[in-house]
């Protein structure tokens, strides 16, 4: 057990730094791109969307591959190589002489960022069955902590120069890599390693596997549309708040940190309370409905302070995702759970490829002189339409599945649905 504690701690720090590094550069990258393009917001929006899509595409392609490589050669080399590459990538972008190097950097970042698969497998390797669920909770904790600290830190460091956050992220990642070289033991025993197979490393296979789940295809589509609409936040948040409210990097970073805090509250505890109170079906419909309304509100926000009110209320729409996922899981056989989750992850990656390009293109066009009327919130309105379609599909799909309902009141004469 003495070996497991530092190893688990290292993986937690690694996953936290993965998210922290992403959050660190979110308030900075769009403005740095605009600086390279002479301050042209329209061009910067389009370029940022393309770079975001490249990152997601690399994750889509390489997450299964990195997972398979870790099954063949062990978790330690894959994690350490990914960490080293990630650290060098941050430094590459910090000193990039032109946008071509940004493309190279995003490709490297997408590939090395896929080490989440190896990190998750490492946790499974070193965790006893009775502690595995609790240890997997470290992934959610790392995501919340990284996204709370990262944007605030990035906004603060951005005041000292737009490249400073990249240097900080690179330095932290390389320090963690060096620490891992000395303390991280291998978790996968030789007898448990598998022969590498391209068939198991093919991301297209995960999408094709969707045909195995006909009972929940409607909800799978709902989940995809919900995730696609959600891409508006990472895609245009910095550009939108800068264009409409004139926020600097510090103000943007603080707003994103507040998003992280609210996400941690909702995902970390409130979702369970709402599901226990309303049941999965009503929770899903509530979250999807609120999402439609809040996207419209974001699009109409004329003052910066209104954004915080939208974040406070709109974060509650986050209960929809876990509720929909819970219903899907309940309606799929026990031996198909892994396949379902793999397919959902692949679809989320596709949304991460398509969504940023769509959102940044809409934003760039509707703030340009080409637009018949300037509508800075156009991308938010598009997300509202996508979420409305998701809601309609969910209403239809939920009639054909078996959900987990909220407990009936003690005074009710109606028998339990269980």
User: Which tens digit of pLDDT belongs to each residue from 11-60?
Assistant: 777 777 777 777 777 777 777 787 777 767 777 777 877 887 888 888 78
User: How many distinct helices (H) and strands (E) make up the chain?
Assistant: 18, 0
**Average model confidence (pLDDT) for the chain?**
79
Neighbours of 241 (CB within 10 A): 21
Are 47 and 34 in contact by the 8 Å Cβ rule? The answer is no
Domain with CATH 1.20.1250.20 in the chain: 1-180, 204-403
Q: What is the pLDDT of residues 355-412, one digit of tens each?
A: 888 998 999 999 998 899 999 999 999 999 999 999 999 999 888 776 555 544 444 3
What confidence score (pLDDT) does residue 136 get? 58
CA angle 176, 181, 185 (to 5 degrees): 110
Q: List the alpha helices (DSSP H) in 279-336.
A: 280-300, 304-314, 320-330
Q: Would you place residue 245 in the very low, low, confident or very high pLDDT band (cuts 50, 70, 90)?
A: very high
d(CA 338, CA 348): 15
Q: For the structural domain made of 1-180, what CATH number should be given?
A: 1.20.1250.20
Q: Model-level pTM?
A: 0.70
d(CA 319, CA 279): 11
- Mean pLDDT for the stretch of residues 106-116: 77
Please give the CATH superfamily to which domain 204-403 belongs: MFS general substrate transporter like domains (1.20.1250.20)
């Amino acid at each position: 057990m003495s070996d497991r504690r530092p190893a688990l701690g290292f993986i937690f720090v690694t996953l936290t730094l993965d998210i922290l590094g992403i959050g660190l550069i979110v308030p900075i990258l769009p403005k740095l791109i605009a600086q390279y393009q002479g301050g042209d917001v329209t061009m910067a929006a389009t370029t940022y969307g393309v770079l975001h899509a490249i990152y997601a595409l690399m994750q889509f392609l390489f997450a299964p591959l990195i997972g398979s490589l870790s099954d063949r050669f062990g978790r330690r080399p894959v994690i350490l190589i990914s960490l080293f590459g990630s650290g060098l990538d941050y430094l590459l972008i910090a000193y990039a002489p032109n946008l071509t190097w940004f493309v190279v950097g995003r490709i490297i970042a997408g590939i090395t960022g896929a080490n989440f698969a190896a990190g998750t497998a490492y946790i499974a390797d070193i965790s006893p069955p009775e502690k595995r669920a609790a240890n997997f909770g470290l992934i959610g904790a790392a995501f919340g902590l990284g996204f709370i600290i990262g944007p605030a830190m990035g906004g603060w460091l951005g005041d000292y120069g737009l490249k400073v956050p990249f240097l900080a992220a690179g330095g932290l990642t390389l320090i963690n890599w060096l620490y891992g070289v000395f303390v991280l033991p291998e978790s996968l025993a030789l007898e448990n390693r598998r022969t590498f197979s391209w068939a198991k490393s093919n991301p297209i296979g995960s999408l094709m596997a969707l045909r195995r789940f006909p009972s929940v295809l409607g909800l799978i589509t709902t989940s995809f549309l919900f995730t696609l609409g959600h891409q508006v936040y990472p895609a245009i948040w910095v550009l939108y708040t800068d264009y409409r409210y004139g926020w600097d990097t510090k103000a943007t970073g603080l707003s994103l940190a507040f998003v992280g805090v609210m996400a941690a509250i909702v995902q970390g505890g409130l979702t369970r309370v709402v599901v226990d109170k309303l049941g999965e079906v009503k929770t899903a419909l509530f979250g999807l409905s609120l999402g439609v309304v809040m996207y419209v509100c974001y699009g109409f926000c004329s003052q910066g302070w209104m954004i915080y009110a939208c974040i406070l209320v709109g974060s509650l729409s986050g209960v929809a995702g876990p509720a929909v996922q819970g219903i899907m899981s309940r309606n799929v056989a026990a031996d198909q759970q892994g396949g379902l989750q793999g397919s959902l992850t692949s679809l989320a990656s596709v949304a991460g490829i398509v969504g940023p390009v769509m959102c940044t293109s809409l934003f760039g066009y509707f703030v340009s002189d080409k637009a018949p009327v300037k509508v800075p919130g156009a991308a938010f309105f598009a997300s509202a339409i996508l979420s409305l379609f998701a809601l309609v599909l969910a209403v239809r799909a939920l009639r054909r599945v078996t959900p987990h309902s909220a407990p009936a009141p003690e005074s009710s004469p109606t028998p339990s649905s269980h």
